[in-house]
Structure 1
Amino acid sequence: MLIVALGDSLTAGYIDPIRRMPYTRILEELLRRGMGVEAMVINAGIPGDTTMGMLRRLKADVLTHMADYAIIWGGINDLCQGHRPRDVVTNLLEIYRRCRGGGVAPIGCLLTPTGIENLNRVVAETNELLRIHCVEEGVPIADLYSPLIDDSGLLAVEYSSDGVHLNPAGYRAVAEVLYDVLKALIGGG
């Protein structure tokens, strides 16, 4: 099975300027150990990328691989740059449509919470729109938000390296959520 993970620094596995721990490596291992599936997960995460950038490089970074699945996780950089949630979701929906048109099954991802209260408000709005549209479009969605939030509504410190990016425990939690989604899609649970 071939999976491409398209996204930004969170997909790339950014922890700090020196360390990386992409969830894609953990996901490969979970698929192999948990389901006996030999999967290659290509990491197409670029730090700082936006959903428009992801859309521009979709053909080169995803569609040319003729993958079985594409995990699409992005939008936090758009929101940090002041883009509206509906514009982020519009770009993500177009990515999903193009994936399907190219024979690749998209998997959407809710944005992870952050340690920044004002940013979390637009993250929550984006996630609500994304959830609604993914249901309408029949796109499976991975809830990367709920497992990482603390009681105060922020990114839990035990999963964060800097209030936006994740640490090894956070990337493991992401991989586990995506494993569960893929397991359901593949038919193993």
Structure 2
Amino acid sequence: MAKVEAQSRTLLDWPNLARYREANASLTAAAKDEQRVVFMGDSITDMWALPRFGGFFPGKPYIDRGISGQTTPQMLVRFRADVIALQPKVVVILAGTNDLAGNTGPITVEETEGNLASMAELARANGIRVVLASVLPVSNYGRDANGNPLDMRTRRPPEKILELNAWIKKYAEEKGHTYLDYFSATVDDHGLLRKELSEDGLHPNAAGYAVMAPLGEKAIEATLKAK
């Protein structure tokens, strides 16, 4: 019964607009000189704010708007409420891995690309600069609570990640957005997520976020300075 109720709530608020509704309402308007940045994403962005990972860019006017499990169509629906309405200078979009896994049903890579492009277009139309991040690699190095292997490659084929990342990079270059290459910094010689950067082969651990954070900072800095 509880599972059915949870599923019903999800269907009633498919993009999970309720998740950040109160937090968004409590935010003061961005000051004219405030370098506000919103991070839009899934669990990799969502979990970044957990205390065990050191917090989300302490001291920076950065806002985490990740929601675990989400796909690009869900993010597109909530983009106005969770990004545009917050009046950031920059949005960092990290999305696509759950599309490949089919979290909200079958979706083609081309459809994912279209959703990413739509978010970037919405941002630009509202005077928000865009950072498009590559999808992270996955691996089969992780173990579950019982010590059984976790193979994240099954639902997220490495070749599909490469295909999507190639498009993200090309699109960012063509449209004048910043490309944030997390992939190259986290991949090993076998094309998989480096073992020391993740416990489950999908989500970064503290070491993984420690690799990602300065790359994100550098991309944001470059984007703010760009003319």
- Aligning the two structures, in what range does the TM-score lie when normalised by the shorter sequence? 0.7 to 0.9
Deviation at 1:176, TM superposition (A): 1.2
> Are 1:24 and 1:42, in contact at CA under 8 Å, matched by a contact in 2?
no
Distance verdict in 2 for CA 1:4–1:23, change over 3 Å:
farther
Deviation at 1:69, TM superposition (A): 0.5
> Are 1:50 and 1:78, in contact at CA under 8 Å, matched by a contact in 2?
yes
The one-letter amino acid of 2:164's match is T
Q: 2:170 aligns with which of 132, 149, 154?
A: 132
Distance verdict in 2 for CA 1:99–1:133, change over 3 Å:
same
Deviation at 1:184, TM superposition (A): 2.1
Q: Is residue 62 of structure 1 aligned with residue 83 of structure 2?
A: yes
Partner of 2:123: 99
Alignment of structure 1 residues 32-181 onto 2, 5 Å: 39-81=60-102, 82-115=106-139, 116-117=152-153, 119-181=157-219
Query: Matches of 1:137 and 1:46 in 2, distance apart?
Result: 27
Point out the structure with max Rg over C-alpha.
2
Deviation at 1:133, TM superposition (A): 1.2
Query: Matches of 2:221 and 2:88 in 1, distance apart?
Result: 17
After superposition, give the CA deviation of every residue in 1:47-95 in whole Å (9 maximum; x if it has no partner): 0110001100000000001111001111100000152222111110110
Query: Matches of 1:54 and 1:149 in 2, distance apart?
Result: 26
Gapped regions of structure 2 (runs ≥ 5): 1-34, 140-151
After superposition, give the CA deviation of every residue in 1:12-57 in whole Å (9 maximum; x if it has no partner): 1269xxx66568713x55xxxxxxxxx3111100001100011000
Matched residues, number: 175
Bigger relative contact order, structure 1 or 2 (CA pairs below 8 A, ≥6 apart): 1
Identity %: 28
Query: Matches of 1:56 and 1:111 in 2, distance apart?
Result: 20
Query: Matches of 1:4 and 1:96 in 2, distance apart?
Result: 13
Partner of 1:25: 56
> Are 2:130 and 2:223, in contact at CA under 8 Å, matched by a contact in 1?
no
SS at match of 2:56: helix
Query: Matches of 2:55 and 2:127 in 1, distance apart?
Result: 21
Which of the pair is proportionally richer in helix?
A: 1
Query: Matches of 1:102 and 1:156 in 2, distance apart?
Result: 37
SS at match of 1:145: helix
> Are 2:134 and 2:179, in contact at CA under 8 Å, matched by a contact in 1?
yes
Deviates more, 1:110-119 or 1:71-80: 110-119
> Are 1:11 and 1:44, in contact at CA under 8 Å, matched by a contact in 2?
yes
Deviation at 1:126, TM superposition (A): 0.3
Taking only aligned residues, the RMSD between alpha carbons, in angstroms, comes to: 2.1
